[in-house]
DNA sequence: TTTATGTATTAACAAATTGTGAACTGATCC
DNA sequence: GGATCAGTTCACAATTTGTTAATACATAAA
């Protein structure tokens, strides 16, 4: 399935469960990050900035409730969706979990379909959008949210494909992108276009930016360099 | 407990359950309305305009899923919280319930404390909606409370959809809103309108405002810019 | 120097997207 | 009933974007 642009962090110490959930949510179109204990969960949450965090409660290092409290105490995670997925089915844990600020509390075992339904329901209600990050390299700035490219503070107007192509290259400066990779990322797997198409777009970007920021690697591809 | 100013409609055909839930939610500070079958639920929902509807699934006249579908089809109930409280614990019912547009699905028996926690959790998430504030950008001012737009201190009359569209764009100046996002935010997820509808409204806004404040980003969407 | 390979450039063409005026549908209000 | 208005759709024009093909250029190997 096509990506929904939503990132989910799953924290559980049982590799099997982790894998099952990851597989199913990925198939549903979510981007998934995993953690196998409480400390890793906190760390990865800060790194990956997920839209939803699925937490087991009984985990090594820090338990799920502690993770939830730590994150909820930070402004950055006040709005993040949190779902407890745990074997603890007693009333006390359930109430405590929700009162810690979680948005849902689900007990194991649970069928993947049901879990996906609940995850979808959470997103449906919140409709939280992923925050794409602004790339800034030297005097060049690329803002995907605004669809805006600036050189020396001056606005440059790029067409859609041009923008996507530049964003791809600039997202990993120095890395060479094969022509095939570029085609897959910007044009998509199904679309078939000729080889020269990429060149033409590259040329337009160079032209519009007025910068020598895209290097040709003959016989290989292109890379971004400033 | 003092009233929370939130109204909850509970529909269940078992008087005992109805009473227990009503008692507990009232004690928690919610205003409670009850219905004992599907038809009554629909009727009372329209009358009372509750913030949350708790639906049993197996009820006389109309079952809970039908009630949910009927209500969700109406714009007035698109945002209303709906929670299924049912004895049906099988995977199919669970998934179907959530896909009908419910926000939570809970199986009986359930302890009052847990139910209250889940209800609180639902309201906690929904109340975080950003308050609608007056937007002021340059010589343009948009007041969602008064439904009023002013340019250079002069009143401009916009229709509802026009206003909502402008408010959406202006709420995050510079950010590009995809056509899909606009449809979801202004028209709602279920409504289907033609491609040109957005354009026409955009044009009317541009026309009425007499400002060049909405930029077209071809192939992507629109953004507000002053 | 020639040849082979791969890229740059350009113009022309095809495709996609948006702008616009007119017309249609319901609601609502004299 | 008639008038008005919001909301929508449609047909078509205007515009922009994407692609190709032809040619020129650059580089390295033979």
pLDDT digits (tens, 9 = 90+) for A94-124: 899 999 989 999 998 888 899 999 999 998 8
Q: Is the CB of A217 under 7 A from strand D?
A: no
pLDDT band, residue B32 (cuts 50/70/90): very high
Which residue among A91, A103, A124 places its CB closest to the CB of B121? A103
Find the closest chain B residue to A164 by CA distance: B220
pLDDT digits (tens, 9 = 90+) for B79-116: 789 999 999 889 999 999 998 889 999 998 888 899 99
pLDDT band, residue B77 (cuts 50/70/90): confident
Look-up: residue for tokens 């192509």? A165
Residues of B in contact with A120 (CB under 8 A): 98-99
Per DSSP, which regions of chain A are E strands?
A: 7-11, 31-35, 52-55, 81-86, 104-107, 135-137, 140-143, 148-151, 154-156, 176-178, 214-217, 221-224
The answer to whether the Cβ–Cβ distance between B120 and A101 falls below 8 Å is no
Residue B74 has pLDDT above 70, yes or no: no
Beta carbons of A11 and A64 less than 8 angstroms apart: yes
Residue B159 has pLDDT above 50, yes or no: yes
pLDDT, position A131: 44
Report, as ranges of residue numbers, the positions in chain A whose pLDDT lies below 50.
Answer: 129-131
Beta carbons of B155 and B148 less than 8 angstroms apart: yes
pLDDT, position B46: 79
Beta carbons of A183 and A198 less than 8 angstroms apart: yes
How confident is the model over B40-58, as a mean pLDDT? 88
pLDDT, position B206: 94
Q: Is the CB of B194 under 7 A from strand D?
A: yes
pLDDT, position A83: 95
Work out how many CB contacts closer than 8 A connect A with B. 66
Helix (H) or strand (E) holding A76: none
How confident is the model over B121-140, as a mean pLDDT? 79
Could you count the other beta carbons within 10 Å of the beta carbon of residue A52? 22
Which of A125, A130, A134 to mutate against chain B (most B CBs within 10 Å)?
A125
How confident is the model over B116-126, as a mean pLDDT? 88
pLDDT, position B204: 95
CA distance A218 to chain B (A): 31
pLDDT, position A129: 46
pLDDT, position A99: 92
Please state, in angstroms and rounded to a whole number, the distance separating the CA atoms of residues B184 and A196.
38
Q: Closest nucleotide to A218's CA, by C1' atom?
A: C6
Looking at chain A, the number of H-run helices and the number of E-run strands are 8, 12
* Buried b or exposed e, range A76-112, using 16+ CB within 10 angstroms: ebeebbbbbbbebeeeebbbbbbebbbbbbbeeeeee
pLDDT, position B2: 62
pLDDT, position B37: 93
Could you count the other beta carbons within 10 Å of the beta carbon of residue B152? 11
Tokens encoding A118: 């609940």
How confident is the model over B202-222, as a mean pLDDT? 94
Distance of C1' in C18 from CA in B197, Å: 11
CA distance A164 to chain B (A): 11
Per DSSP, which regions of B63-153 are E strands?
A: 81-86, 104-107, 135-137, 140-143, 148-151
Q: Is the CB of A196 under 7 A from strand D?
A: yes
Residue with nearest Cα to nucleotide D10 C1' = B196
pLDDT, position B189: 61
Please state, in angstroms and rounded to a whole number, the distance separating the CA atoms of residues B48 and B69.
18
């Amino acid at each position: 399935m096509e990506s929904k642009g939503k990132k989910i962090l799953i924290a559980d110490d049982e590799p099997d469960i982790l894998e099952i959930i990851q597989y199913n949510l990925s198939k549903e179109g979510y981007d998934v990050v995993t953690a196998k204990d409480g400390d890793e969960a906190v760390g990865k949450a800060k790194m990956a900035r997920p839209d939803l965090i699925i937490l087991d409660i009984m985990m090594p290092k820090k338990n799920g409730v502690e993770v939830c409290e730590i994150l909820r105490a930070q402004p950055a995670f006040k709005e993040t969706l949190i779902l407890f997925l745990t074997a603890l089915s007693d009333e006390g844990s359930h109430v405590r979990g929700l009162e810690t600020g979680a948005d849902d509390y689900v007990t194991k075992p649970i069928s993947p379909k049901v879990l996906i339904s609940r995850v979808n329901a959470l997103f449906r209600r919140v409709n939280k959008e992923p925050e794409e990050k602004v790339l800034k390299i030297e005097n060049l700035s690329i803002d995907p949210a605004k669809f805006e490219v600036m050189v020396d503070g001056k606005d440059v107007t790029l067409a859609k494909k041009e923008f996507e192509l530049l964003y791809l290259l600039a997202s990993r400066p120095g890395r060479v992108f094969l022509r095939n990779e570029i085609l897959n990322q910007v044009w998509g797997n199904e679309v078939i276009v000729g080889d020269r198409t990429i060149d033409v777009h590259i040329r337009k970007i160079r032209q519009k930016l007025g910068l020598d920021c895209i290097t040709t690697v003959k016989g290989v591809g292109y890379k971004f360099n400033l």
